[in-house]
Every structure is written in C-alpha cells, then in structure tokens.
Structure 1
C-alpha cells in the first residue's frame, strides 16, 4: 500500500520512497527513508495535505506525493518495540576535549609552538529551520534580529561581532535541513560555507528532537571544519523529565557538545568559549566516518572510500572536503559533480561504484546514504537520549490543533483570528490612539503657528515649517499606533507557531491559485510590510512559486498605505471607518486571487510539493515581540524624518516656487503644477486628473506615507480635498492607491531577489492593474451615485 492509503492514527513502515530529483532527496534528508515508521496524524480541513509523525516530529505532505511512498502496515506494539530497540552501538574511541588555551599540534603546520593560532575568527551559525538560530544569534551578538516560530524566518545572512570577543564574527545563515540544494536558502548556506571558509561552525540543534537535527550535523562534520554542537531548548528537555547524556554524545560525535537554552541565555558563554577555542586552534571534528561496517559487509563504507580514492585530486583542486564530495557524488549531487570536473572514464567509474553499492544494499544510492546516516543517528540517540513518551509542548500543540487545524473549525478560527486582529488594529486600539496623536499634532501645530506669527518669522520660512514639515510629517506620525499594533499581532502569530498551521490549512486553496501553502506566509507578512514579504519568498523551493508570490505581494495591503486610507475615510466616510477598511483589504485580496488565476496559466512550471515541518506551539517571547515592534517603530520614525521629511520639503519647494525661483501666491503656477499636469491626463478617465493628486501619487512611489504628506501640503487639510474630488473620484483614488506600484524599497528588494527586468515589470504591471480596477470602480460609482 502507499502512504495515502493509511487511516488516521495508523502506523506503517516505509518500504520505498518514489519520485526523483531534488524533491526525493529532500524527503530522504527529512528522514522519510525505507525502514522508518511513520504515523498518519490527520488530514488538513480540506482533505489535503496530510500531517505525519516521522522521526519524532510532524511533517506535512500532499496526497499526490504520498502515493509515491510505499509502506507496510505495522502494529503499535511493534512500532514501540522497534523504537526502543537498537541493533548495535557504534564503537568510537573517546577523546576528552582539551581545556581552554591548550595547544594541539596539527599535522603539516609548523610554528613557534607547533600549532596554528588565528587572530581573526569567522563563525557560521548553522542549524535546521525553527531550532532557535536567530535567538542564539541575538544572544551572541546583541543584535536585534527578528525571531519567529515558523520555518524560514531568516531569509538572508546576517553577521555580528560576538560579545566579549571583538576578534570573532558570527554569521547567521538561513535554516536548512541538509547541504543538498533543494531550496534557495540551502544554496545560500552551502555557498557561504564553501566560499567564505569560516574558521568554525556553531551547529545549533533542537535538543527535543535530535533524530532530525543530527542529520545536518553529520554533513557538517564531513566538511572537516572545527565545530561545536549547541543543544538548544535543554530547558524543555529537563522540564519534560528527559535528559541527554552530553559526555557520551560528545564521545560518539568527536566534537564539543554544549547544552544551552538560547531563550534563557543559559550555557551561551560556555558555548562561545568552546567555539573560540576549537576555531582558534583549528581543531577539526575527530569523526567523519559514520558507516556501520557490519551492515552488508560495509557496502556503503567501501563505496565511500572507493569514491574518495577516485576523486581525491579533483576534490583538492575544487577545494571541496574529500569525504563530503564522495558522499555527495554517490547521492547524485549535480553541483558537486560539476565542480569536480571528472572526465568520461572517471564518470563511468563513479557510476560503477554507485551501482555496486546499490546491488549490495538493495537500496538506491541516495537512500543508502540517508539510511547510513539515520542508522548512526538512531543508534547514537538510543545510547545518549532519555526522553519521556510525549513532551508537554507536543501534547499542548496536539490539543490546540484540534481547534486551529480541525476539519470544521480551522477555517472559521482563521477568519475569526484575522478579523479580530483587523478590528483591534483599525478601530478599537489603533483608531483610538491615532485620534489622540492626531489631536496632539494639531494642538502642537497651532501653538507653533502662533509662536512663529508672534516672532514675525519670514512668511516663506513660516510656510515651510507649518505647511510643509508639520503638516506632512505630523500627519504621517499619527498613523504610527496602527502600524505598531498590526506588527504586534503578526509577531504573535509568527512566534506562537500558528503561521505554519495557516500554511497547512490553506495549502489546497492556494494550490487552486497555482501556489503552495508555503506562499501564505510571505503574503501574510505583506500585510505588515512588503519588503520582508518579498525577502521571505526565498524560503519557497520553486522559482515559479517565488515569482508568482512576489507578483501577488503588493495586493496584500501593507501598513504604509494605512495613512492613505485613514486620510480619505476621514474626509469622505468618517462614520464607516471599520467597514471601509475591511472592504479595501478584501477587495485587494479578491483582485490578487483573480490575478493569480490568470498568472497560473501564464507562468511556466508546476507548484512544488508541500513539505513543511509543523513546530510545536510556544508562548511568544515578550523580548522578541518588543524587539520587533521597536525595530518597526524605529524604522517608521526614521522614514518619517528622512525620506518623508525630505519629500515634504521637496514638494513644498516645488509647490511654492516657479521655474524662475519666484515665490508664487497660487500653487497652480508652481513647478510642481507644471510637471504633474503633463502626467495628469493619464488619470483623467479614472476620475482624478488633478495635478495635486497626481503629485501625491508620484511621491508615493518613494514611500506610501508620502501620499498623505503631499496631499496635506498641497490641500492644507482633508476637508479641502472636497473641492476637488467627489465621492466617486475619492473611492476610485482609494482603489488606485490600494493596488498601484509598491514603494521604491519593495522594488529594490524585488530587484535584488528577481533581477532588474522583473522589478521594472512589476512597477508597470501593478500600475496597469490599479488603473484598470480604478477605471471600473469609478464608472460603477458614477452609475450608483
């Protein structure tokens, strides 16, 4: 039978793993290998994908992919017996790790003390997704990096100096499951390690699930780079009544193993001292051979060593660690194969070695290597890990998921959660605080106006301060509470682990749009800011999915557009604030869906399979949440007093002077009026061909908040805009602002991720869609009103 034929709660042993290419390799890297037991936990509310328990953690898989995996049913009793039974223990000569400051002689290096000491150290912080890497990075460097509880928070590499060690720099790399190139973040991490050649690796693992995490550890050890293993979340292991025999684990692996809790900053100092020591004295891992010689007379062992003998000179020239190159070549890694530049005869020898091993092991090459690694991991964990039957965190997550991912409750729960967030953000909390700040800004502006008048300040300077700076920047600042509150709620969703569940619940719906459920995470982030949303698409394993998701991101209305909505709602629909806000967001989502359906048939390729780990729910860390809020608040204020401040002054200048730099009494004779009037006819058919409105839209390309700043500078107040726009025109303008080209920061991020042509195309594409929608809405409103 196949995995798809399992009933909920049924356990089976994997017999074969079908499929091909990078996806199949990804399955193997995630622990979906022959001989491993797997349990079907549940189906998503819409019947697809399925949620599985494998290698001690929960994994999602679509039914179509589940059909490619053959299984043999097994009883719960046999599964439990297998879990506690280990055929053998690997023999490994223990090595007591040297104390700090001891100098270890290195073969091939001669010096004053027969050792190598590095003055400058560069570390790579590597680990699986969602294992606490960024939290540890913050503890190591004091940096304010975003921390979340869904796979793929770190979408770029970040570096910082380790506190107390100015000579040591650590780089936080994207979370990966292996060094096989499946997703673009895995390529980023792999390329950094190979090209930068760090002095040391800090490998952080989730101590509550060593079986999955140690797979990457073994590949890192094959690189021969000095490394330490950080057992994170040890506080959870202890609280659940479990333990890890650290000394025994260190003996088995041959590298320093340090128990830590990154969240509580426990053991971090000891970790740093060990990391600096092994890197400074270039102490490579003592073990790189994980084969079991007894297994089929060591078929895998002999294949690896035969491959090493064959490619030794090629690996040295390509500067790829020999053992790593040999195992990857057996797996069929195309990047390694290309880098080695083997001739035709050598390629034939590689194929002969691979086929001989497959014949003896009765497994294909990739599965045999994965089986070898997990065989070692299971044996090692059986010898060093004492765990309870079920952790408190998993039990809690299981109970919560009965509601949040339940068949009949998941979708209503999601809608209620998002509706509550928008209601609190735009009405109860955000709206109230916004009014308070707006009143304060108005009072301060009036007082300043009176003081400047009393002091008989120059009319030009007076106008610059009051009509330019205060009116423009002050209006934007009043929207700060809404932005902060929305980011606060999005941070709670991320930190709690609910974001991954949203992806699981929405996958089937997203697939109808030609996307994977993983795309829902970047799109939801887009409601906060489009820049991190575009960057978050790097976690998507398909170039097609990335392109489509980036194209749809601007339809998720970011917080920077909130001042625009608030401005026009206050002027035209003050009694329907919540209703209009909700309608705008829903309209943007509907347009995004229609665009996705159209793009589904244009963009080539198929959406990638949905393979995602579901982390346990965790209480959001208050420090992390406050750090994120502070970062976003600081960023907004910096933009308000930099980009928007400069834009406000520029707009005031262009509005106040003509081409002869003469002060104009009527702004219609200004430089701005002339420039905007040249573009204004394009917007005539959609109802707002006024040069002042067009000027604000141009400024909105720099930062969406600038639209309001420009309008208030040109019109003086929201009430004055009634003289230019009627209700139909105002709604048309709202729709255009909702959908037209994202800000220059988002375009820059898109250019970085996708290239210049794609970024330029996005500008014209979004503007065209916005113009068409505004045109339709304008004529519909004219017919109704």
Structure 2
C-alpha cells in the first residue's frame, strides 16, 4: 500500500473550506493565525502554548474558510497528547490546505514535518517564519531551489512584523481557489510508517545546496544575556527579583487605577442606576443596586489592574524570558518528580489555571501530567490577584502591601514544592526533559496591547456569568428571611455553622461566606464581599480595615490561595485527568492543605503575640 491510497479525496461540496496550521512549538503559528484571521489566540514564547484546536472563520474568494490552529508538535508520528490531537484531526476532518510553519533559523531540525505532510499527499504550502532572525544568524535559504526540491510553494515570512505576509496570503488564496477536493487521511498510522518516517539522509539531501547553515552561530545578544540570567548562582535570584518588580508595578501603578474606576461606577450608580430603579419596590431596588450592581462594580474596578498585569506578562512571555524559568528550575524540580515544564505550567497558571492544566498535554508521562495537574491550582491566578489586592490594601498600612502580595506568590511555589515532595513516590516520572530555548525577542506594542485586552476579555467573558450568579446568590442568602439582618440571615447562619472549622484559622462568618461562593469562581469573592456588607468598594475596604486584623486577613489570603479551585478549573481538571477519583482527591487535598497552612500561620502568629 502506498500513502496516497490512505488519503481520501472528497469533492468539495461543503460550504466551508478548511485550512490547518501545523508546525513545531514556538514557530509563530498562533501569531500567523492571529494575523490571518484577526483573532486573538494566546501567543507565548515557550513550547506548548497552543494545546487545543483554535478556530476562526474568514471570507476568502467570496467564500467562508475555516482556519484551524493545531497544537505545536515535533513529529506527526509522536505519542504525546498534543501530537495525538493533530493525528486525530487529520484522520477525522478533511482539509483543503495545510500551512506548514517552520522556524527559518532552525529549518535543519524542522524540515521533517514538511516532508511528512508532503509524503501524506496533503495539499500544502511551506512558510519559513522568523526570516529576520534567520538572516541575523547567518542562515541563507535559496527559496526557489528549496521549493523545487520539495515540490511545494515555499515563502520567507515574518509573521510578527508582517514582512512577506502579502505574498504568502496571495498564495493561500490561490490554492483555495484551485481546491475542488478536501483531503482526509483514512489510515494515518500506516501512511506514517510506510512513507512519512523521514530519515536524516533524506532531510540532508533536501537541504544541501538549498540552505546554508552557519557552522557556528556567533556570540549574540541572546547568549550574552543568558550568561547573566541563566547563571547557576544568580539566575534564580534575578528571576524572583524580576517577578517582584512585576508585583511592584501592579501594586503602585495598577492599584491607583481602581480609584478611577470606583469614581466611574459610583457616578453611574448615582446618576443612572438609582434613578432608573427608583420606581421599583424597595426590595427590588436593594437587589439591583446593592446586590447585582454593587458586586459587578466592585469586580469591574479591577479591570485596569488586570489589563496592566496581563500586558506585563505578555512582555515577559513574548520576550522569551519565562521559558528560561523552566531551564532554571529543572534541576530542582527533577528532585521532586517534576521537571521544567511543570514550572512553565505553574507560570501559565499565573494568568489562569485552565490553560495551564490543558498545557500538560505536552507531557508524555501520565504520572508527570497528574502530579503537575495537582500543583497547578496553587498558582496565583488573576482572579485571586484581585482578591488579595482588595484585602491587603484594606489592612496593610504604609504602602507595604506589595511585600505581602509577593509573599503570597512565593507561598504558591512553596505549596507546589511541598505537594510534589509528598506525592512524587505516588506519581513516578521517568520522562526526559528536552527544551530548546528561543532567542530573546522584542515584543511589539500591538501584540502586548492585544494580549492585555484579549486576556481581560477572555477573563470577563468566562467569569461574568459566574460573577452575576454569585452576586445574586449572595444577595439572596444575605437578605432572607425578609427583614433579617447580619448573622440572622441564611448566609449568616451558614457562616456561623462553619465557624467551628473557620474560627481556628481566624476567618469570620462574613469572610467564610465569601469563600464559600468563591468556589463558583474566585472573582466572586470580591463581588460577594460588597454584597454581604451592602456597601460600595471604598466602604467595604473601610469595613474590613475596621473589623479584620492583619493576621486574620493574611490567613484568609492563604486559604483563598490554596483551597478548592473554581468550577471551571475543576471541570478542566476532570477533563484532562479523565478520572473522578483523581479530581475528588485533588479537591480534598487542596482544601486540607489550605486549612492546615492557614491554621499554622494564624495560631503561630497568635502564640507570638500578633493580633
């Protein structure tokens, strides 16, 4: 059997043509996907960012075309979860065109995928991305000769800056106009074993004379910077110093923006919301103003801070620095049964735990995946960040809140380290860790702004429903029975019922209720506090400052950092682990660890005379 007998050609009678983007991790696939479709797919400068099928529809040649950004893979014949996703896609869905994206500076190591796609008989074009970097490194590519040898169109491109994009786009349009059939691999494994097992000799024959690789890339800026940032002694201190700088900027620049948003939401409440609901009964007015609007407005006050946070993270990620954290932490992580990729996923969880959990698909070892998934929910995500900023700003005087905030960031790593040490014997990993560090790159302002806005938009889209639901639920339990107030309400009684568990860790019934609704989504915690107290953001801050001590507030933050993750994270944890037993264990363990950590801190602080 030859490969073409395993490739089914189907007449394109369907209304939507399909284009698939395939390439190794960190070749700029998502950047090109965004440029082609106008979408805002997550773009990062480390391997394994794209871990699911990203889709977008655009109009080309007066017809709808579906673009699919597949996970980055190293080999079509691989066995990792992300490689299985690509294999399943090619066997299950027809394609009219495959765009193979290669890093032009690493074409000698990446040409295999292009040759595999060719061997499978799929219609394709080859885009050699990062052509500007290749030129800088002295890589010379004879595009016409390479295209002739591959028998496929080949283009040099810089998806980041758009150089060469127009020519490549015209070729894509031309190929789609010529497409009258869709192609689906009916037996991928057989095809791969027979025709797509590309030898080193075959790759060398294609490249020799068409590609000139420098015998040794000269010392460049990346290597000079890495001598300092990857220094065996200075590397980690510099990394954590950089992360402290991130929190300093968030605290000293982002926090003041909350006051501006508070004034805007306050003005809207006084001049729009309250006059609009004034004809309604008092109970309905209270529900809309103090319940729904109060909670949503409090959460909205943190939007500028989150935009700033995500923009800073975009700079760190797109520059290539965060991927080096995996290299720095690998030796230490290996002693705990993890590796550098686990640290990268922990950093991804810094924005949201969900994509970090999905990112574990790049790991072939099931044990490594499970252990990594167990520690990821301890990452200080953006939702928890706004809770901590809100609480710390209320109880920490003299602008020292950034130190407290950074200590919680460090605590998230301590929790991950303790967890890995406890369970490395249960989840034994023997998979080797291989990482190719990308060169340092200067992020474009457009990408940084798109990332900041895109992440916040995703954050609000994902959380808005939960926030609304949570605020409504909190208002109901804090206003029933009718006429009841404070601890006499349903919510107050729930808080009192849980007091034997929460009092030993310094958390009062009001804060307990907020944590309870935080299981829906951590963003709900801040909104629920406004609803529970029936006050605006400033008034709630003053209320907490007057009723909650520092050690109570810090114990609350510890518990919020470590306890049961939100519903979306829990659902993702189950989907990735495919085990209810593991999911329930992870939930129970995180709650137990949160309580023990808060108990040790709070009781130790009391014993030392702190209040």
TM over 0.5: yes
**Equivalents in 2 of 1:417, 1:501: separation in Å?**
13
1 CA distance for matches of 2:315 and 2:489?
A: 48
Structure 1 residue 551, shift from structure 2 partner: 0.9
Match of 2:302 in 1: 479
- How many residue pairs match? The answer is 593
Contact residue 104 and residue 130 of structure 2 kept, 8 A: yes
Secondary structure of the structure 2 residue equivalent to 1:205: strand
Other-structure match for 2:527? 709
Structure 2 match to 1:697: 515
Q: Which residue of 2 aligns with 1:744?
A: 567
Alignment of 1:96-111 (within 5 A): none
Residue 545 (str. 1) matches residue 368 (str. 2):
yes
Measured in 1, the distance between the counterparts of 2:273 and 2:60 equals 51
* Residue 245 (structure 2) pairs with residue 420 (structure 1): yes
Question: Which residue in 2 is equivalent to 1:377?
Answer: 203
Q: Structure 1 residue aligned with 2:85, among 164, 185, 188?
A: 188
What is the aligned partner in structure 2 of residue 670 from structure 1?
Answer: 489
Q: Which residue of 2 aligns with 1:269?
A: 169
For residues 301 and 228 of structure 2, the distance between their equivalents in structure 1, rounded to whole angstroms, comes to: 38
Give the secondary structure class of the aligned counterpart of 2:20. strand
Show the counterpart of 1:124: 20
Equivalence for 1:761 = 585
- The one of 208, 225, 236 equivalent to 2:122 is 225
On the 8 A contact 1:477/1:640 being kept in 2, the answer is no
Conserved 8 A contact 2:96-2:181: no
**How far apart are residue 179 of structure 1 and its match?**
1.6
In structure 2, the residue matched to 1:71 is none
Give the distance between the partners of 1:282 and 1:712, measured in 2 at CA: 55
Q: Does residue 688 of the first structure (1) align with residue 507 of the second (2)?
A: yes
Mapping of residues 18-29 of structure 1, within 5 Å: none
Preserved contact between residue 228 and residue 274 of structure 1 (Cα < 8 Å): no
Task: Report the secondary structure of 2:18's partner residue.
Answer: strand
Give the alignment of 1:437-452 within 5 angstroms: 437-442=261-266, 444-445=268-269
Q: Per the alignment, in what secondary structure is the counterpart of residue 60 of structure 2?
A: coil
Measured in 1, the distance between the counterparts of 2:480 and 2:322 equals 51
Q: Which runs of 5+ in 1 are unaligned?
A: 1-105, 285-315, 329-368
2:225 aligned partner: 400
Cα deviation code 1:637-672 (max 9, x no counterpart):
4456432123212221232232xxxx3142434333
Relative to structure 1, is the Cα distance of residues 457 and 277 closer, same or farther in structure 2, using a 3 angstrom cutoff?
closer
Instruction: String of CA shifts for 1:363-420, please: whole Å, max 9, x gaps.
Output: xxxxxx66xx22222232222124566779x723222222222344322321221121
1:171-196: CA deviations, max 9, x gaps? 11111111222422111112211232
Shift of 1:449: 8.5
Distance of 1:200 and 1:479 partners within structure 2: 43
Distance 1:456 1:128, change over 3 A: closer
Pairwise mapping of residues 211-360 of structure 1 onto structure 2 (< 5 A)? 211-237=108-134, 243-263=140-160, 264=162, 265-277=165-177, 279-280=179-180, 319-320=187-188, 323-326=191-194
SS at match of 1:429: helix
Task: After TM superposition, give the deviation of residue 475 of structure 1 in Å.
Answer: 1.7
Deviation at 1:155, TM superposition (A): 0.9
Q: Is the 8 A contact 1:135 1:262 kept in 2?
A: yes
Q: Which one has the largest radius of gyration? A: 1
Q: Deviations over 1:599-633 (max 9, x none)?
A: 11222x22421111111222113222222211122
Name the CA shift for 1:490/1:706 in 2 (closer, same or farther; >3 Å): same
Query: 1:594, 1:117 → 2: CA distance?
Result: 56
The aligned residue for residue 204 of structure 1 is 101
- Give, in whole Å, the separation in 2 of the partners of 1:712 and 1:553: 29
Classify 1:129/1:678 alpha carbon distance in 2 versus 1 (closer, same or farther; 3 Å).
Answer: same
Pick the aligned partner of 1:178 from 68, 75, 99.
75
Tell me by how many angstroms 1:523 deviates: 0.5
SS in 2 for 1:179: coil
Structure 1's 639 and 718: CA in aligned 2 closer, same or farther, altered over 3 A?
farther
Superposed displacement of residue 722, structure 1: 6.1
Distance 1:218 1:278, change over 3 A: farther
Q: Which residue of 2 aligns with 1:83?
A: none
Match of 1:733 in 2: 556
Contact 1:648 1:709 (C-alpha < 8 Å) held by counterparts: yes
Contact 2:504 2:603 in 1 (8 A): no
Checking the alignment, whether the CA contact within 8 Å between 1:261 and 1:267 is kept in structure 2 is no
Q: Measure, in 2, the Cα distance between the counterparts of 1:769 and 1:322.
A: 49
CA RMSD of aligned residues (A): 3.1
Task: List alignment gaps of at least 5 residues for structure 2.
Answer: none
TM-score after normalising by structure 1: 0.70
- Offset of residue 483 of structure 1: 1.9
Measured in 2, the distance between the counterparts of 1:442 and 1:493 equals 35
| 1:615 and 2:438 aligned | yes
Question: How many Å separate the matches in 1 of 2:13 and 2:107?
Answer: 32
Change (3 A) 1:714 1:257: same
TM-score (structure 2 length as normaliser)? 0.88
Once residues 502 and 226 of structure 1 are traced to their aligned partners in structure 2, the CA distance between those partners, rounded to angstroms, is 39
